[in-house]
Structure 1
Amino acid sequence: MLSIATLLLRSRRPLKSPTKVSLWKEIKDQLTRFDVYRQRPILCIAVWNFIYGIAYAILLFSFSFYGTSIGLTRQQGSIVTTVQSVAQCIGRPALGYISDKMGRTNSTILFTFFIALITLVYWIFITTYSQLMGFGFLAGFTMGINWVNFTPLIADVLGGGPELVAGVAFVTVTGGIPLIPAEIMALKLKRTGDVDKPFLWCQIFVALCCIVGGGALFPFREWKISRMFTGRRRILQAKLDKGEEPLTELELKRLDRYNRLLKPSLGNYVLRTLYPIKA
């Protein structure tokens, strides 16, 4: 079906490049932008998207199987999956709005860890249809955070233009790989026989993927905050060097704080990573 859809696509521009470079060479150049792929912030996003993608796929496809494991009918499991999909339709725009308000990096880390939390304290203990419906809606509302924010996060690093195209392609391709075996892994982790909580290992695995994936974004947050502080320090230092207008007491305190936080040390690295600011 994807092959048919691809053949029906129309190009957004003529296949002849205005730069006299062939289309295939442009594609090859985009696929070999190792200068983009090697950047530490891009690698952090790719690792997060890769690991979290496993948890996302398991959550997306496991509710029907889980429903039958606790005594529900397949129809009830299918309804829970539908509720989850409806919740994603509502949740993705809402997640975008929340990300604009509290910062894309902050919200991405927060909701990735939130899914780990509700998996451990909610999903593991579900035994009824109504409980599974509630979890399906809550998980569906929040689990699309990767699709909402991975492109804006890449844009924070690369801006626009060909570099953004290459960065998005890299993160998309690498993030698509774990989606293929994820549900097979979940079913292999299912405990067989007459056991309580047959999906326990699978649920713990989902939570661990979210925790490790969210943790991969902490170096990205440190990088972003370092860049913010460096820019602000440069502005204040330039104003101080010109001497045309003296810095206020508040600006001097800020300049001193930026100088201290930007010093290379493990303690400052941790402070930058956890600094309470919109990022």
Structure 2
Amino acid sequence: MTESKAAFSDKDDERDHDSLAPGNSPLKSVNRTPGTKAHIDTEKHPVPQREQKESPPPPPPPPPFPLHLLRLHMKKKTAATGGSYGVFLAHYLATNTFPGAGALDYAFVGSLSISCAMLVSPAATWTTRVYGTKATLFIGIAFETASLIGASFAWAIWQLFLSQGICFGIGMGFLFVGSVGIVPQWFTTKRSLANGFATCGSGLGGLIYSLAAGAMINSIGLAWAFRVLGILALAVNSICAILLKDRNKIIGASQLAFDVKLFKRPEYFLLNMYGFFSLLAYVVLIFSLANYARTIGLSASQASVISAVFNLGQALGRPPIGYFSDGIGRINMAGLMTFFSGLFALVIWIFARSYGVLIFYAILGGTVAGTFWATVAPVAAEVVGLKHVSSALNLVWLFIVLPSTFSEPIALEIVAGTGSYLGTQLFTGFMYMAAAACMLLLRGWKIGELDEIARLKGESVDQIDVVGTETEENDAMAKAAGRRSIVQNFA
């Protein structure tokens, strides 16, 4: 998102100019003097200095590589351990590790880790506001390390629920919420690309930890595999937490946990439904691919490779998704890539009966499977405006708790009831398609909103800031016009 001159107002500084497609005209410098609604071009009619608000200085040029490296390492270690649960799940199902536990029990362990991570987001936001980012990160590190060490001593399924499920999820949630907003604070342009590089850490980590977890389980046993992962979680995340630096105070970032009034907006509800359907499909893929590989006759090591390649696909896919979002539009990119996720599940995964075809699906499907994570923040900015992004995302995290919890249990129950993975594969594909349909409806709303803003201001649509409309006085009229045109502009 973009640079702004020092004379701009605070609201102009917050606008996301980078969301304009390449080649579009930049916005004019705009200020409003008290008591008037007229738009004044400050380049032609300078406003006296005393009438202008002081704006925070633009972000200093950061050292992007070290910052990305730290955020990527934290994302890699945090999400990767959860992403490698598919390897653990395949091991549990194949060896009956905990007597008396069934497939549904093991499915809930993995699902709980994701849902608990989302559920603690308000608490993590509160600790960030009151105690700072580092405190939030170290709380997450403590929970995550304790969960992995505790899981190494588990001998009953309820202990696995508490350790690898709930405790790990709490730690992952604090680490995720505490670090997710740091990288964008240091960039004034190409924030989607920067976010894409940062989030690809979960894919890289999933690649490494899927292979490592599978190898360690076979060589040193399940208990010591957990302990090694716990030691790594403590060491790597602690180093990253110490070195990471946020700019919350400088930019005046809002850390409000909730703004339930957002649910009165149909467009925001569509964003939440996009996340709901996406998570129903995504959780099935990250947890079930390794077990599916075992059901078609592949070995445990081959199943680990399938899970690793799927995570490699995520690492390769997220940066391009962020990069091209800046050109073709964030909502357009989210809808298109989500559609491809469903298409690949329906036309490739269903027919993947050999190791080679499943490898092909894992890497191709992986590039687009996690589109939600790469696009939800920039899309939320277009839907609610930069001012409300923090609250909007907190509510999104809570909204996706249910699909995160029940997606994998639903998938394994379908397998148990039908005797094959076909029903689960169809379920995954159609959930992605439903998520893509939500993005199409949201696209229709955004087109209507921008058209109305352009009409009211007498400007070209290309000159309108797609995230800055929240600060405009005619915002309510434009959003209402967008809602009336959702179906009209569906395609």
- TM-score, structure 2 length as denominator? 0.44
Q: Which has the higher contact order (CA 8 A, sep 6+)?
A: 1
The yes-or-no answer on 1:228 pairing with 2:455 is no
2:372 to 135, 146, 151: 146
Query: Which whole-Å CA distance do the structure 1 matches of 2:246 and 2:262 have between them?
Result: 24
Instruction: List aligned pairs for 1:134-213, cutoff 5 A.
Output: 134-161=360-387, 163-191=388-416, 198-213=420-435
Q: For residues 141 and 166 of structure 1, do their structure 2 counterparts lie closer, same or farther at Cα, with a shift above 3 Å needed?
A: same
What's the C-alpha RMSD, in Å, of the aligned pairs? 3.0
* Count of residue correspondences: 234
Helix, strand or coil for the counterpart of 1:210? helix
For 1:216, which of 438, 441, 444 is the aligned residue?
438
- The CA deviation string for residues 184-205 of structure 1, in whole angstroms up to 9 with x for no partner, is 1111111568x6xx10000111
Q: What are the Cα deviations for residues 39-66 of structure 1, in whole angstroms up to 9, with x where unaligned?
A: 2111110011011101000011111111
Q: How far off is 1:224 after superposition?
A: 0.4
**Alignment CA distance shift 1:188-1:229 (3 Å):** same
Deviations 1:8-66 (A, max 9, x none): 87996999xxxxxxxxxx97x633x1222322111110011011101000011111111
Q: Is the 8 A contact 2:447 2:482 kept in 1?
A: no
Aligned twin of 1:30: 257
Q: Deviation digits for residues 185-230 of structure 1, max 9, x if unmatched? A: 111111568x6xx100001111121122221223311110011111
Structure 1 pair 192–177 and aligned structure 2 pair: CA distance change class (3 A)? closer
Structure 2 contact 289–306 (Cα < 8 Å) conserved: yes
Alignment of 1:272 with 2:489, yes or no, is yes
How has the CA–CA distance of structure 1 residues 113 and 227 changed in structure 2, closer, same or farther, with 3 Å as cutoff?
Answer: same
Matches of 1:157 and 1:228 in 2, distance apart? 12
1:51-130 maps to which residues of 2 (within 5 A)? 51-130=277-356
Using the TM superposition, give the Cα deviation of residue 136 of structure 1 relative to its aligned residue in structure 2, in angstroms: 0.2
Q: Partners of 2:278 and 2:270 in 1: how far apart?
A: 12
41-50 or 216-225, larger mean C-alpha shift: 216-225
Corresponding letter in the other structure for 2:342 = A
* 3-state SS in 1 of match to 2:489: helix
Aligned to 1:166, the other structure's residue is in SS state helix
CA distance in structure 2 between the aligned counterparts of 1:61 and 1:150, rounded to whole angstroms = 21
Please report how far the alpha carbon of residue 271 of structure 1 lies from its aligned counterpart in structure 2 after TM superposition.
4.1
Within 1, Cα distance between the matches of 2:305 and 2:292?
13
2: CA distance, partners of 1:76 / 1:272? 46
Letter in 1 for 2:390: V
Runs of 5+ consecutive residues of structure 2 not aligned to the other structure? 1-143, 145-167, 176-237, 461-480
Shift in CA distance, 270/13, structure 1 to aligned 2, threshold 3 Å: closer
Q: Which runs of 5+ in 1 are unaligned?
A: 16-25, 239-261, 275-279
- Counterparts in 2 of 1:14 and 1:133: CA distance versus 1, 3 Å: closer
Taking structure 1 as reference, are residues 204 and 236 closer, same or farther at Cα in structure 2, changes over 3 Å only?
A: same
The separation in 1 between residues aligned to 2:458 and 2:386, in whole angstroms, is 27
Return the offset for 1:263.
11
Aligned to 2:9: none
